[in-house]
Amino acid sequence: MIDIMCVSDEEVFLQNKENRKIDLLISAGDLSPGYLDYLVNEFKPTFSIMVHGNHDKNFFQRLMKRKIIRFLRYIKVFTFLIMVLLI
């Protein structure tokens, strides 16, 4: 049997009294990084999938800003390479 835990939006601190390991943890967004860390340490999933929610930008704003800057750099390099190839 496969044990799956799916969480979203509300942070409820569940206690793993039976020390059960789950096979799959699915986070469907809008949860703080601290809460996700708690779930991973408490239930020790074999595999986890974490999807950003529409409110996660509050938690991951710096990370997203860095990714956008990195993406824009790639676009500039890619555009430059295309221009060089066309000349």
Pick left, alpha or beta for residue 30 (phi over 0 → left; psi -120 to 50 → alpha; otherwise beta): left
Walk along the chain (87 residues) and give the pLDDT tens digit of each residue: 889 999 988 888 888 888 888 999 998 877 888 888 899 999 999 998 888 776 556 666 666 677 777 777 777 777 777 777 776
Extents of the domains making up the chain: 1-54, 59-87
Round to whole Å and give the CA distance between 70 and 54. 22
H helices present in the chain, as ranges? 33-43, 61-86
